Amino acid sequence: MKWFGESWGAPCCESDGRVEAPVGDLCVKCELPIMDGDRGFLIPFVDRQEGEPYVTDEPWHFGCFMESVLGPVFRLGTGWWARGMSSKR
């Protein structure tokens, strides 16, 4: 799995999937731009253009991705939203 930013100690961070943060690209979930210092994932997204399938890697903030997987439990457990969107995502 491709990831960016500081390691958060998960097994995926021990792989060689670390990539440069896609600064300026919009997070799929919150549609805010990825900023320098953010951490997150690049998740493959399959779409079609003129009938032909293609794959792009779409950025997700760490918190946005985790909330999409775990739901509100992640939000309550970490204070993700309480910290505000200006802190590390």
Shortest distance, CB of residue 9 to Zn ion, whole angstroms? 20
Give the interface with Zn ion as residue ranges (CB under 5 A): 27, 29-30, 61, 64
Query: What one-character-per-residue DSSP string does the chain give?
Result: -EEESS--S-GGGGSS-B----TTSBPTTT-PBP-TT--EEEEEEEEEETTEEEEEEEEEEHHHHHHHHHTHHHHHHHTTTTT-TTS--
Shortest distance, CB of residue 29 to Zn ion, whole angstroms? 5
Shortest distance, CB of residue 18 to Zn ion, whole angstroms? 19
Closer CB to Zn ion, residue 44 or residue 54?
44
